[in-house]
Amino acid sequence: MRRANIVSNNNDKKLKVLIVDDEPPARRNLRALLKRDPEIEWVKECGNGKEAVASIRAWQPDLIFLDVQMPELDGFAVLDQLAGQPLPVIIFVTAYDQYALQAFEVSALDYLLKPFSDERFRKALEQAKRQIAQQDASELGQKLMQLLGTRELKTDAPRYLTRLMVKTTGRVIFVRTEEIDWIEAYDNYIRLHVGGKAYLLRQTMNELEASLNPEQFARIHRSTIVNLDRIKELHPHFNGEHLVILRDGTELKLSRSRKDWLEQWLVAGAR
């Protein structure tokens, strides 16, 4: 049976970074480290919490290095002031380890404890890049799906799904249902087999089956849905069971209860 690859991709977006720290040497150190990275578009600084709140609203950075202890507004108070609006990715930077748990409770991505090494900083920055790339891919996918849905409604709205959105690392892929060879249940996911590749999708078999065109897809086993156009042969198997052979040689088990129906469909060309 064929094996498939999960597709991944690099995101080439340049990042806007804000450093919030009341200590100038700490800001200079972070700025120097960030300047080495060609994927950084710009770096700006704030010296206190109030300034940080206004700057985040005005500049909408992708990533913030946020000090915890600052005069008037500390790092957590800054986030409180911004409650209810989209936040950038946050990495707390502090000399005190007792705030770590609280930091992660407010969805901080990482917690850099001063003094930190260049390697520790690099790991935190790379983690932030991955997080931002995933967020951007998810937002892009939602916008594209809205556009596609709007366009379809303006024409003849399809009765069944014509494409599926699959999220991978830093990327959103749209798979046309007609390109799917077969589908299998995979723990809490389903796995789409498409032209030698495989994509995981968090959805149940029952939900997906109900949204697919029954003239094109059929459930031939509890854990298998097949594109009927891909079927080449039926073969007898053990104990009265049968196998469905696809054009690419993939062998799929056929439920006994579906055998007669499938044979009839393949002969007649329709249900």
Cα(120)–Cα(143) distance, integer angstroms? 35
- Residue 249 amino acid letter: G
Cα(2)–Cα(127) distance, integer angstroms? 33
Residue of 7, 6, 30, 11 lying closest to 129 (CA atoms):
11
Q: Say if CB 171 and CB 9 are below 8 A apart.
A: yes
Alpha-carbon torsion angle 211, 213, 219, 223, nearest 10? -40
Q: Give the single-character DSSP code of 13.
A: P
**In this predicted model, what pLDDT tens digit does every residue of 9-32 receive, in sequence order?**
344 678 999 999 999 999 999 999
Confidence label for 247 from pLDDT (cuts 50, 70 and 90):
very high
State if pTM tops 0.85: no
Provide the pLDDT for residue 5. 34
**In this predicted model, what pLDDT tens digit does every residue of 78-115 receive, in sequence order?**
888 887 777 888 898 888 766 665 665 555 677 788 88
**In this predicted model, what pLDDT tens digit does every residue of 252-263 receive, in sequence order?**
999 888 888 887
Residue with tokens 């990533």: 63
**33 vs 263, residue with greater confidence:** 33
Largest CA distance in the chain: 79
Q: Give the single-character DSSP code of 95.
A: S
Q: What share of the chain is helix, strand, coil (3-state, %, to 5)?
A: 40, 30, 30
Residue of 156, 155, 268, 166 lying closest to 215 (CA atoms):
268
**In this predicted model, what pLDDT tens digit does every residue of 157-203 receive, in sequence order?**
556 888 887 776 666 677 889 999 999 998 778 999 999 988 888 88
